[in-house]
Amino acid sequence: MINLYLLRHGKTLGKPALNGHTDVGVKESVQKSIAQALLNNYDFQAVYTSPLIRCKRVAELLAEYNPSLDIRYDNRLREQSFGQLDGIPFDELNDEWATLEAFWSAPGETTLPEAEPLEEGYRRVIEAWEQLVEECQQDTVIIAHGGPIRYILAHVLGLDWKNPRWYTALAIGNQSISHIQINRYQGKPYFSVCSIATSLTDTSGN
């Protein structure tokens, strides 16, 4: 049995925005608290991470605190690109609100201007996930974003990843953990979703 822990990064700096490929950071004290909480509360030997700094920095700190960890960076674990609206604070959106609402109501069929189609994002994340599952031989933390974590959970549970309620009704909070176990039988993986988006710890940084 192998344990996989899907960690969503901490709350990003700056105004609330649709941050996809925009490389916005997280308060350093929060990043340190996340890394320490992982090491204190979970037993794992490997880390896969999105290369965006809000995820990557946690992996860097984990490597500093425990040099024996196997750290791997995978570009396919990045958040969705939201094109022209990527990184723009919500309170600065004007005429774009109608476009954004159309996307939220049917994300599988609607693509924001110059953005990555949802299906392309889903496919690249699941490609990374399936390779990870095939290669994984030890308990592992995957540091990623809300979108990719939802893609993986939908894939494992056999749910419709295009359903807009999957993105609006399912809360994947910052610095939350989703726990999946893998059991292999005759070379085939069988998954158990043990928990979804449980709180890591108090990592407020105060």
Residues annotated in the binding site for substrate, as ranges?
Answer: 54
User: How many helices and strands (H and E) does the chain possess?
Assistant: 6, 6
**Is residue 9 among the annotated active site residues?**
yes
Catalytic residue among 28, 60, 64, 79: 79
Q: Which residue positions form the known binding site?
A: 54
Based on its alpha-carbon atoms, the radius of gyration of the chain, rounded to whole angstroms, reads 17
DSSP 3-63: EEEEEEPPPBSSS-B--SSS---B-HHHHHHHHHHHHHH---SEEEE-SSHHHHHHHHHHH
Catalytic residue among 9, 114, 130, 134: 9
* CB contact set of 46 (below 8 Å; sequence gap of 6+): 69, 70, 71, 72, 136, 138, 139, 140, 141
**Is residue 79 among the annotated active site residues?**
yes
Hey, which residues does 14 pair with through a beta bridge?
none
Known catalytic residues? Answer: 9, 79
